[in-house]
Amino acid sequence: MTDHTLLIKNSTRDDMGAYSCSLTNEVGTSMSNSTTRVSVHYKPEVNVTMDPQSPIVEEVVTNVTLSCNVMAGNPPDLVKVRWFFNGGLIEELPNCTNETLCVDDPSKLLLMNIDRQMHGNYTCMGKNEAGWGVMAEPSELVIYYPPSQVSLTYHPQRVVKRGSVTLVCAVKEIGRPSNTTFRWTRGSHTVMDVTTANWTIDPVTLETESNFTCTALNLGVKVNQLPFIFVSMHLRRLLNAPHVLRCGHDFAEHQHQLSRRVQPYLLDKMVEGKREHLRLAQRESEVLGRKPHDSSGHAYERFPIDTFDVELEYDSLAQRLLGPNAGQRQLYLFFHWQLSRWRS
């Protein structure tokens, strides 16, 4: 009996398959009654997928599962997997002391308690009976998180009626993604037409007095979540502040300085007949200058003048922390009263 042999040199995966043979002589051709299968072992080719898919929100997702999937390789089962984060080896699985009792799936890597520090590129390298394959293409795990360390400031420090003031919502940590928008609230109403970090109010009016809140937002803030950072600014008149009166033109320059012990006062413009007056009424205060009294016993001053400029001057701005990432600042409003010359 004569044997005929087929020798395959430098075999590759393309040589795998079912083989049969046929013999031919002068009489004819005869096919073999059976086939034989040839299996060629080769190293695995893998890719990385993740569940849930990237990007994810830090405050919403707790765990992420990475999978090292075999796209090609024989045998297709991985016996070991090396996991890499930003190019560095972080784990080789299975991590078992007794491989005969190991039931861990090396193709799965569970990332627990996800936070922004885990943002980066993950990849893997698989091993089967043919050996270690090449490293997979990196897969980026994108982790969204909200802005933090927001502060609210303003300039100029002296805000004057009919002037302008710019509120600045500064963010030290911009968060991810970086396309941060800003939500401004005036009192209980959202300001729809301002979404930038700076808001200029021009001109300033008495209606400017309100509570202002700025909130930095991006996709890292989960849906229906109340802003965890807010900074408030309160524009108002301070009732117990030093008060300076200045008058000029037809009258000699002089000042009336109220005591620092001034109690809440009322400043309003009164019209008596055809004459305009500015009336300053106060309780339990000291006034340097004339001190006539009305029927209620309140001290007051009257000045029929061309122009009258009243400034409310304050010593300092109070800041009170509301939390690790929030602060409150009070902005006191300076305003001028312009009165036309009265005629008798």
Matching residue, tokens 């993950």:
122
Query: Each residue of 18-76: pLDDT tens digit?
Result: 888 888 888 888 888 888 888 888 999 999 999 999 899 888 888 999 999 999 999 99
- Angle, vertex CA 179, rays to CA 174 and CA 185, nearest 5: 80
* CA torsion angle 142 144 145 146 (round to 10): 150
Q: Which residues of 124-159 are buried (b: 16+ CB within 10 A; e: fewer)?
A: bbbbbeeeebeebebbebebbbbbbebbbbbeeeeb
Q: Which residues of 306-337 are buried (b: 16+ CB within 10 A; e: fewer)?
A: eebebebebeeeeeeeeeebbbbbbbbbbbee
Reduce the secondary structure of 11-25 to three states and give it as a string.
Answer: CCHHHCEEECCEEEC
Matching residue, tokens 């008798």:
344
Whether residue 94 is preceded by a cis peptide bond, meaning omega within 30 degrees of 0, is: yes
CATH superfamily of 43-144: Immunoglobulins (2.60.40.10)
Give the total residue count for the chain: 344
Q: Which fold has domain 148-235?
A: Immunoglobulin-like (2.60.40)
What gap in Å lies between CA 7 and CA 42, rounded to an integer? 19
What gap in Å lies between CA 231 and CA 327, rounded to an integer? 5
- The answer on pLDDT for 258 being more than 90 is no
Task: Please give the pLDDT value at position 118.
Answer: 93
Average pLDDT, the chain: 67
Query: Each residue of 66-125: pLDDT tens digit?
Result: 999 999 999 999 999 999 999 999 999 987 765 555 557 889 999 998 999 999 999 999
Q: Do domains 43-144 and 148-235 have the same CATH topology?
A: yes
What gap in Å lies between CA 252 and CA 248, rounded to an integer? 6
pTM > 0.85:
no
Report yes or no: 287 and 299 within 8 Å, Cβ to Cβ.
yes
Report yes or no: 48 and 136 within 8 Å, Cβ to Cβ.
yes
Taking Cα atoms as reference points, which of 151, 146, 145, 181 lies closest to residue 322? 151
What gap in Å lies between CA 217 and CA 246, rounded to an integer? 46
Residue 217, strand partner residues: 181
Give the residue extent of every domain in the chain. Answer: 43-144, 148-235, 243-313
Task: Please give the pLDDT value at position 97.
Answer: 64
